[in-house]
Amino acid sequence: GDSVTQMEGPVTLSEEAFLTINCTYTATGYPSLFWYVQYPGEGLQLLLKATKADDKGSNKGFEATYRKETTSFHLEKGSVQVSDSAVYFCALSRMDSSYKLIFGSGTRLLVRP
């Protein structure tokens, strides 16, 4: 069945460091790919998405490129801020599974001043 694997955390960085959180997926067909973020005490929020191969999703300085050849959707940011500290979830959905979101286990990011 469909699945998402993302790197285990926590990831601890200093402010202004470069961030990469790895995400790979297993799915038949052509899923849409997502990154959700969960800030402390808040609900999940969509951060960015990509719906087809080679698409790049971007938002708030974060980027991820849909790589079908490596089945990956790694999240990157050039310069993290303390306010980026949160848990990040990679997810996929497919039209022929009723767009059900399949989530990875989440990666906690801690950014220190």
Partner 1 sequence: EAGVVQSPRYKIIEKKQPVAFWCNPISGHNTLYWYRQNLGQGPELLIRYENEEAVDDSQLPKDRFSAERLKGVDSTLKIQPAELGDSAVYLCASSNTANTEAFFGQGTRLTVV
Letters for 12-51 (x = contact with partner 1 by CB under 8 A, - = none) are: ------------------------x----xxxxxx--x--
Task: Name the pairing type of β-strands 102-103 and 86-93.
Answer: antiparallel
Using an 8 Å Cβ cutoff, are 31 and 24 in contact? no
105 lines the binding site for partner 1 (CB under 8 A):
yes
83 lines the binding site for partner 1 (CB under 8 A):
no
Task: Name the pairing type of β-strands 56-59 and 75-77.
Answer: unpaired
98 lines the binding site for partner 1 (CB under 8 A):
yes
11 lines the binding site for partner 1 (CB under 8 A):
no
The Cβ of residue 77 has, within 10 Å, a number of other Cβ atoms equal to 20
Residues interacting with partner 1, by CB under 8 A?
A: 4, 36, 41-46, 49, 89, 91, 95, 98-101, 103-106
